[in-house]
Structure 1
Amino acid sequence: MAKKPNILFIFSDQHRHDVLGCAGHPLVQTPNLDRLTDWGMRFERAWTQCPVCMPCRATMITGRYTHELGFTSNVTADRGDTVDDSPFKPAWPTIMKQLQGGGYETASIGKTHYHGRPGSQEAGARGERFDTRQFGDFVKDFGWDYVMEEYDRYGHVQSHVKSPYMDFLEARGLLEAHQEQIQGIYRLTPTHWRGETSVLPQECELSSFIADHAMDWLQSRDSEKPFYLHLGFVQPHVPLMDDPIWAAYYADADIELPDMTMPSATNEVWAEKVKRLKGHSQVQTMTDDFVREGIRHYLGAVSLVDQKIGEVIDTLDKLGELDNTWIIYSADHGEMLGEHHLWAKHCFYEGSVQVPLIVSPPDRKSRGVCSDLTQLIDVVSTIAEIGQVAPPEGARGQSLLPMLERGSGGYDYVFSTIEDWTGVRNEDYRFTLHVPTETPCELYDLARDPGELNNCVEDPAYGEIVDQLKAVVLDHRAG
């Protein structure tokens, strides 16, 4: 019997769908993601099931919608030294458990975000440092044979916490400078969204550390089993930081500003959401030069992730595994990057909810670009088909493999949920409903308004469309 194929799923954090060379971005350098596209297919209209980290990541191991899993927003508070209150449940059926049962060795290297950021004040009070590796067994319970977990940079500022990357920096005498810099651009400080260039050399950057660990794992494993490797890059998630080499590359780039028309508050319910979006983005700081600098640092972070992906691909080639490895690339959500006068995500604008999605089979044949509507949960069913196992019980997505051959076959409607809001889009419209009150909040006529600038949810001419899409959302949430 022929050996089953390996599967490498590369999952970055907060990568906007159009910040790719292969998507036509005029500045960003992503030759390795472009190479993966040339070797397979890029799905240019893929929706995340939640435009924030944790709920999306729950959908990406189960294939289920966030409301079915029981939570639709992040657990953001520091949670001490316990995972008892994590919304992630090890009893869930997951794609990793299915693959283990099908003879795969499974490994997760980088960000998982199955629990809140460690922050044990109790350990600090005892004069100790809480070691995040203590969460390893919890993460393994979801179906991972090997785990090396790392967190976003906000977790690195706490002196009473230690992680693999913090140990790495400390051994090189770099931790204190790194912590001081992150503290200076921490959440909601005035320079938070403008970003900075890292004080660390490129080889010590977090993306480099995660990729190096993945390459070490690939080179040291002696198992005859096929592998499923989840490679979780933390960047380009905020704080927006590039390394010195990519910073120099983009230093003189002519950064074009996006359309910064602010969202409109159509009713009282949506006005509260818009107020929160503006507050999180610190719109009062968003001068043209400020936004250009944030975009500049973001491009550098994306290019470093791409560079490291290339090194992992080259390692597979040197090991003789590339011709038997499927490679999938995506991200948990996008980044508004100044568009609509917003940063981050938390909304259903295209920049937030649409994600890059590339599937590259071992035969390395180009299949072009698919413009049909797809969903991020489709990755779970796709991986199941590649690994010749059944999808996890309850999985809702569909395999993308048939679409690789025929180039079409997407959805009539795709869905995303955050907190009390669910968004839906079809070929013609994007609509948002506040589910508890059944209040329509957004409607964009995408054929006439592809930039999503004119919210026509209260326009009587669209009343029938609003009623139709409201029914679609309520049926989805009840299903």
Structure 2
Amino acid sequence: MSIVSSVSLRVMTLAAIALIVVSRGLAQSDNRSQPAQTKNVLIFYIDDLRPELGCYGVDSIRSPSIDTLAAQGLLFNRAYCQQALCAPSRISMMTGLYPDHTGICDLFTPLRKVNETAMTLPRYFKQHGYITASFGKVYHHRRDDATSWSEFADYPTDKYANPQALHAIAKRVEDAKQRNLSVDEVRNAAKGPATEIAEVDDEAYIEGKVAAQAIASLRKNRDNPFCMCIGFAKPHLPFAAPKRFWELYKREQFTVPKRELPDGTSSLAITSWGELRAYHGIPMEGPLSDEVTQELMHGYAAAVSFSDAQVGKVLAELDRLGLRENTIVVLWGDHGYKLGEYGLWCKHTNLELDTRVPLIISAPGYAHGQRTESLVEIVDVFPTVASLATGDVPDSIDGKSLEPLLQDSKLNFRPFAISQYQRGSNMGYSLRNDRYRYTEWIQAGSQRIVATELYDHQDTDTPSENLADKLEYADLASRLSEQLGSAQRIQTTNVKLKTTGK
């Protein structure tokens, strides 16, 4: 089964997965663990992770560690990020604020550059007496919010494990410098190939080293309440992983998706996926060949399994130390990802593939081995862990605690979820309800709606037509437009939006 095929999500066989939990050696706990009333917080941040995992009904993807975590908590089948871009998405999660409140919608602005006083998840827990620790890619700007961390590990710097690849990259960079190319062109030369297979141990790559850092911290801080944030960059480009993870998959199992864009879609809705084109061996324009597409899909899957294994190492240590029963564990992806669907790659849009993300919360005394179809947003994560750990939620937060869903997974939590993406001087606001996605692109200066999109997601994540201009959908589009405008007004209780919608 291809990881890009439309998949009817099946209910997990939780009893089978529960056997994995039992086999993890919980009986070997260290008796020096914290008192039962202490609620630690451990959050996994995984870059570019699609909600295509075993626990999400995609059996072709090997994700046993994340699947086991899902069997221990609540899986959110319809969670949406606030923006399909690393920096603003992570900042929204860490503040519980929408991008129009943080004032950050680009890749280049750290939170503390524009807001020195905003309450953040690590600052909140530090003020509540917790040790706050950051490992790997948590904020996009890794030293952002520096005073909020009690422990901040150096980020490993090596990107490729293969000596031949490192040599080739160094040669390209030197050649670019000698030809007096621009800074951006030199930087692109340093990126090297988009995939790598290396017969190395996990710790030859950044993710393996980050897992080791986190495990060392768990051992050191096991007698103190902690809020630990662990960021694994894979499956972000380059799709590099030890050979054994590539060998979990066969190249021929990956089916090249259709490349046609939805009929009637605005150019504002899509991207030229320059992030991938910057890598060596990827054409600067035009579609990718079927062969290259399958290689990238294979590499992405291998990178997912690689990060999954690192998640497993950390959770196994949490169990060994006897901390699992006192720890709230969250796993989320900062945004989705396109793997050739519509002939597009990477993120950077308001499309369903880019805004829908995996989210799992495992909290002592709450939902165990359940899933919910309720719509939720990533701004809801901060108030959730704050509520579960301390019973107190900062007033500044836009999101809502998901604790009611952890008690009753069938609740109707939100009528819709909101995402946004800026394209030049236009801001696209997107509403996802139970069936449809409706998007308005608004020009910042005139506040004029310059393009609209309406997609029916009843049966697919990749609809083939924009219905916004269809006469038979006019009433629906009008209702959704009104809801979107109301949602924007509700979201701006603290600051005025640059773009206000209708």
**1:73 corresponding residue in structure 2:** 106
Match of 1:22 among 33, 55, 75: 55
**2:127 corresponding residue in structure 1:** 101
**Map 1:35-434 → 2, pairs under 5 A:** 35-75=68-108, 87=113, 89-115=115-141, 136=143, 139-141=145-147, 143-150=148-155, 164-166=156-158, 176-177=166-167, 180=170, 195-198=195-198, 201-221=201-221, 224-252=223-251, 254-264=253-263, 266=265, 270-274=266-270, 276=272, 284-362=286-364, 366-407=368-409, 408-419=411-422, 420-434=427-441
Instruction: Tell me the number of residue pairs that the alignment of Structure 1 and Structure 2 aligns.
Output: 430
**More off after superposition, 334-343 vs 92-101:** 92-101
Instruction: List alignment gaps of at least 5 residues for structure 2.
Output: 1-34, 177-184, 278-283, 493-502
Q: Distance in 1 between matches of 2:292 and 2:210?
A: 30
**1:11 corresponding residue in structure 2:** 45
Q: Distance in 1 between matches of 2:337 and 2:253?
A: 20
SS of match in other structure, 1:316: helix
Q: Distance in 2 between matches of 1:169 and 1:197?
A: 9
Instruction: List alignment gaps of at least 5 residues for structure 1.
Output: 77-82, 116-134, 151-163
Q: Distance in 1 between matches of 2:275 and 2:86?
A: 19
Q: 1:114 to 1:349 in 2, by over 3 A?
A: closer
Any conservation in 1 of the 2:91–2:139 contact (CA below 8 Å)?
no
Any conservation in 1 of the 2:86–2:140 contact (CA below 8 Å)?
no
Q: Distance in 2 between matches of 1:280 and 1:174?
A: 21
**1:121 corresponding residue in structure 2:** none
Deviation at 1:188, TM superposition (A): 7.2
Deviation at 1:423, TM superposition (A): 0.9
Deviation at 1:207, TM superposition (A): 0.8
Compute the RMSD of aligned alpha carbons: 3.2
The one-letter code sitting in structure 2 at the alignment partner of 1:139 is D
Any conservation in 2 of the 1:9–1:229 contact (CA below 8 Å)?
yes
The one-letter code sitting in structure 2 at the alignment partner of 1:34 is D
Q: Distance in 2 between matches of 1:25 and 1:307?
A: 17
Identity rate, percent = 26
Q: 1:444 to 1:176 in 2, by over 3 A?
A: closer
Deviation at 1:262, TM superposition (A): 2.0
1:89-139: CA deviation from partner (whole Å, max 9, x where unpaired): 331111222222222111111113353xxxxxxxxxxxxxxxxxxx75x53
Q: Distance in 2 between matches of 1:104 and 1:233?
A: 22
1:460 is the counterpart of 2:480: no
Q: 1:284 to 1:186 in 2, by over 3 A?
A: farther
Deviation at 1:393, TM superposition (A): 3.4
Q: 1:435 to 1:280 in 2, by over 3 A?
A: farther
Any conservation in 2 of the 1:188–1:280 contact (CA below 8 Å)?
no
The one-letter code sitting in structure 1 at the alignment partner of 2:470 is D
Q: 1:104 to 1:409 in 2, by over 3 A?
A: farther
Q: 1:97 to 1:202 in 2, by over 3 A?
A: closer
The one-letter code sitting in structure 2 at the alignment partner of 1:196 is E
Q: Distance in 2 between matches of 1:107 and 1:353?
A: 27
Deviation at 1:256, TM superposition (A): 2.3
The one-letter code sitting in structure 2 at the alignment partner of 1:238 is L
Deviation at 1:4, TM superposition (A): 2.0
Any conservation in 1 of the 2:194–2:276 contact (CA below 8 Å)?
no
The one-letter code sitting in structure 2 at the alignment partner of 1:468 is R
**More off after superposition, 298-307 vs 429-438:** 429-438
SS of match in other structure, 2:429: strand
Q: 1:17 to 1:193 in 2, by over 3 A?
A: farther
The one-letter code sitting in structure 2 at the alignment partner of 1:422 is Y
Q: 1:364 to 1:169 in 2, by over 3 A?
A: farther
Q: Distance in 2 between matches of 1:237 and 1:294?
A: 11
The one-letter code sitting in structure 1 at the alignment partner of 2:462 is G
Q: Distance in 2 between matches of 1:338 and 1:446?
A: 19
Q: Distance in 2 between matches of 1:305 and 1:186?
A: 29
Q: 1:88 to 1:323 in 2, by over 3 A?
A: farther
**More off after superposition, 21-30 vs 57-66:** 21-30
Q: Distance in 1 between matches of 2:45 and 2:208?
A: 15
Q: Distance in 2 between matches of 1:188 and 1:340?
A: 25
Any conservation in 2 of the 1:263–1:274 contact (CA below 8 Å)?
no
Deviation at 1:328, TM superposition (A): 0.7
Deviation at 1:46, TM superposition (A): 0.3
Q: Distance in 1 between matches of 2:108 and 2:462?
A: 31
Any conservation in 2 of the 1:336–1:352 contact (CA below 8 Å)?
yes
Deviation at 1:387, TM superposition (A): 1.6
